[in-house]
Amino acid sequence: MNRQCPFAIDALGGDVHAEAARVREQGPATRVLLPGGVSAWAVGRSADMRRLLVDPRVSKDAYRHWPAWISGEVGEQWPLAIWVSVQNMITAYGSEHARLRRPAAAAFTARRAAGLRPRIEEVVGELLEDLAASAPGGAVDLRTRFAHELPTRIVFELFGIPEHSWGPLHKIINAFFDTGITAEEAQRNAADLDVVMADLVAHRRRHPGDDMTSALIAARDTATDPRTATATTDAASTDAGAGGGAEGAGLSEKELVDSLILLFTAGYETSVNLICTALHELLRNPAQLALVRAGLASWEDVVEEALRIEPPAFYGLLRFAVEDIDMGEGVVIGQGDPILISFGSAGRDPEVHGADADRFDVLRATRGQHLSFGFGTHHCLGATLARLECAVAVRRFFETFPAAALAGAGELGRVESFISNGLRELPVVLGPRAPVAD
């Protein structure tokens, strides 16, 4: 089975769920070709993914564990190179992962995310007022006017990103997740990203504030200040002894920038997709919305089922076998081979969710048994914030526009990506606004 003929992953994500079903049917892992002709193993069964995601024989560090990257056979010219070339916690392994995750985790706690609820409620209210004023009873694209705007304002404020950078960053992030772009376009986008990020870090060094960027800059600059080197080293040793494992406590400048790239791109794109999915599923399944309105299910149940049925990120790039891994059924992932994790496939695995796994059901007992925010050491730090944004946005939308309906019939177009998983647009007729309470 190790010699089976690979099939090509659709770079534009034309039918990711049919593709995921094919991956599941092929066995515990199957050979696939990624854009640019890179061969990898795709894993689509939930149980196999959960096992690999906590297996110490699986790394995310291409510089240490992907021979094709180390040798230059696959390099910066690969259209998806940015997914493995960045050096932050998402691409780190072992003690390096602990070292790189620690500053971000300290700056972005669940308490800090929960503390954003008043601001989220405020922004949602402003956006709904804008919708009611500009399109009374008419049709509007909720992705552009609502789902996109909420996480943009929250995440960019959270990271202290100046408004003059918002437009360029939107353009860059969209290209970041466009897995059909050429190598030249990808390299140009990466260069643009370097310029914008250098500007952001320089701006926040000159004007620090109560934001995530300033907090990470302070953590990096304090750790590299000779006056604090001893204290930092001692702290690293303590963490290593406790199992955290740190090989040098401070972030390099590249690690600082790459950590910021990870945190706000993931925090923005995933939330946009999640809000769109939750709104869309309730709009096309009015019986499910009725269950929530009757108090038989919560808005949090809606969020979990939306995460299960349409994970905001469909595939996770890339992991690597530190040594040979026997997957069973005659399949062995060889040392150094890249591994593609299909989070979207896990959400519709019939072995977990039953024969009707393709159906949206807010009462589904397994709605929370998804991998949409990862699993194990790489579990998403922003999961609390994304869930909160979505629950508030969806609740307030249907409270404000109780008669909202999809504009037109038929399937809606999806973003052209096999990584990002969301609607390209969400046209909705708002209907009359609910009376405003005195």
Residue with the two structure tokens 């769109």: 276
What is the rounded average pLDDT for all residues in the chain? Answer: 88
pLDDT of the residue at 437: 66
Is residue 23 in some structural domain?
A: yes
Residues paired with residue 33 on neighbouring β-strands, in sequence order: 8, 39
Is residue 131 in some structural domain?
A: yes
Select the more confidently predicted residue: 322 or 184: 322
Instruction: Pull the structure tokens for residue 81.
Output: 């190179």
pLDDT of the residue at 223: 65
Is residue 436 in some structural domain?
A: no
Question: Across residues 229-250, what is the average pLDDT?
Answer: 37
Whole-number Å distance between alpha carbons of 418 and 368: 23
Q: Is the pLDDT of residue 148 over 60?
A: yes
Is residue 435 in some structural domain?
A: no
Residues assigned a catalytic role: 266, 269, 271, 380, 389
Burial 51-88 (b: 16+ CB within 10 A, else e): bbbeeeebbbbbeebbebbeeeebeeebbbbbbbbbbb
pLDDT of the residue at 371: 96
SS (H, E, C) 378-435: HCCCCHHHHHHHHHHHHHHHHHHCCCCEECCCCCCCECCCCCECCECCCEEECCCCCC
The domain tally of the chain equals 1
Select the more confidently predicted residue: 114 or 140: 140
CA atoms within 13 A on the CB side of 339: 30
Is residue 434 in some structural domain?
A: no
Read off the pLDDT band of 345 (50, 70, 90): very high
User: Is residue 317 within 8 Å of residue 83, measured between CB atoms?
Assistant: yes
Q: Does the model's pTM come out above 0.85? A: yes
Looking at residue 283, which CATH number applies to its domain?
A: 1.10.630.10
User: Domain range holding 28?
Assistant: 7-429
Is residue 1 in some structural domain?
A: no
Q: Is the pLDDT of residue 161 over 60?
A: yes
Residue with the two structure tokens 């993914």: 49
Question: Across residues 311-328, what is the average pLDDT?
Answer: 96
Question: Across residues 55-59, what is the average pLDDT?
Answer: 97
Is residue 391 in some structural domain?
A: yes
Question: What sign results for the dihedral spanned by CA atoms 322, 343, 259, 391?
Answer: negative
Q: Is the pLDDT of residue 359 over 60?
A: yes
Report in angstroms the alpha-carbon separations of 80 from 73, 86, 266, 288, 367. Answer: 14, 11, 16, 38, 31
The number of helix segments (H) and strand segments (E) in the chain equals 20, 11
Percent with pLDDT over 90 in the chain: 62
- Residues 389-432 pLDDT 10s: 999 999 999 999 999 999 987 889 999 999 999 999 999 999 99
Is residue 277 in some structural domain?
A: yes
Whole-number Å distance between alpha carbons of 348 and 357: 5
Question: Across residues 66-91, what is the average pLDDT?
Answer: 93
Question: Across residues 24-53, what is the average pLDDT?
Answer: 96
